[in-house]
Structure 1
């Protein structure tokens, strides 16, 4: 599975022949200024909630690629009204089977509103189960006991967890979350983009090492294979 990082919580997964993009916030992100948004190819766009730092480029990329946008009902409806032709609304607990695998929407503890201030439903995460690997994209969330339900249904290979603190979990809570969902490999996200969520990378790596977890902090525009 090939994973490319575009900053904040935006990741592009190449799953077989399908390209799955999470939470595209690129063009307003100064740290991602070298990324050409219009060059990004996506078949599916998964949004965790409505905040601008997760949806800023969703309409643009969806229209460029005729991609299917997947989000909670309110977020999906908002983008339908923006002219995105292909959407699939979900709500927590719901799942959909797609050509690359199964996507289940799960609980996240966070607020959600759209860039224009309208109601954005509830914040969510996703569990994606493919033929070869299963992973958890937590979205923006606090640590919650609901995470313990995930390994009762899925055998995860890795998780993408926010570590920036202030608006989400910090690294300490993220390591507890990794235990809750029973993974040893974590890709960090939602850090460094704004002053509120700046982290000390050496410090977070040390916390992960003490927790016996592999913490992957990707560089923007870096691609890895898992």
Structure 2
């Protein structure tokens, strides 16, 4: 089975590289942890979990420059299209095959809106994604609290790797994310959506110690710009 290279770009932004490149939640401009500029990214696909600026990020600008495929929930896709960039909308529970990468949209417990030029637009319903790439199943939870149906996500998609927010206040904190790991039962978990701003400061070592004392899941703490390979 061919491998997958996964690079953390800070916050909830990740780049997945196999035969094609998938970029998720490309919040680069304005992200103090971003290890690159938007101009350095040339994805084949962008997936957006919801419309908040720290997730929609530089999607429109990258899409205009590269002509890449863009996937998001219907309302966010419509907003992107209103800016002259084609995007494909989908709904929770649905799966699309994009350039050989299967994206299944999952539930996420959060809010969603798009703030632009002083106006707020309907951002639809926030989501996560199951990413099936090169034979691997990866769960990017998006911005979410813990919810019981994470167990169904485990049963249906058996993700080897889970990318989970731990920042608290706007998403799960360490306690809730640990329970999420217990429900999902991945082989590996990578914490995300923390320490970008003062309001979401967390200690990832505490998360690692808590998870590894309660489960058989390995926690990998990544630094922005660092890559791992499956």
TM-score range, shorter chain: over 0.9
Quick one: distance in 2 between partners of 1:184 and 1:211? 13
Q: Following TM superposition, by how much is the alpha carbon of 1:220 offset from its aligned partner in structure 2, in angstroms?
A: 1.0
Quick one: distance in 2 between partners of 1:4 and 1:115? 27
Counterpart of 1:221 (choices 206, 210, 225) is: 225
Q: Following TM superposition, by how much is the alpha carbon of 1:183 offset from its aligned partner in structure 2, in angstroms?
A: 1.0
Determine if the alignment matches structure 1 residue 108 to structure 2 residue 114: no
Report SS of the residue matched to 1:186.
strand
Determine if the alignment matches structure 1 residue 205 to structure 2 residue 204: no
Determine if the alignment matches structure 1 residue 160 to structure 2 residue 163: yes
Quick one: distance in 2 between partners of 1:131 and 1:221? 22
1:85-164 correspondence runs (5 A): 85=86, 87-116=87-116, 117-164=120-167
Q: Pairwise CA RMSD of aligned residues?
A: 1.3
Q: Deviations over 1:109-163 (max 9, x none)?
A: 0000002211100000011123421111100000001211112322211111101
Give the structure-2-normalised TM-score: 0.93
What is the aligned partner in structure 1 of residue 28 from structure 2?
Answer: 26
CA contact (8 A) 2:9 2:224 kept: yes
Quick one: distance in 1 between partners of 2:98 and 2:11? 25
Give the structure-1-normalised TM-score: 0.94
What is the aligned partner in structure 2 of residue 59 from structure 1?
Answer: 60
CA contact (8 A) 1:5 1:11 kept: yes
Compare 167-176 and 119-128 and name the one that shifted more: 167-176
Q: Following TM superposition, by how much is the alpha carbon of 1:101 offset from its aligned partner in structure 2, in angstroms?
A: 2.6
Q: Following TM superposition, by how much is the alpha carbon of 1:70 offset from its aligned partner in structure 2, in angstroms?
A: 0.4
Quick one: distance in 2 between partners of 1:202 and 1:137? 20
Q: Which runs of 5+ in 2 are unaligned?
A: none
- For this pair of structures, how many residues does the alignment match? 223
Q: Which runs of 5+ in 1 are unaligned?
A: none
CA contact (8 A) 2:26 2:55 kept: yes
Q: Deviations over 1:40-62 (max 9, x none)?
A: 11011000000000012111111
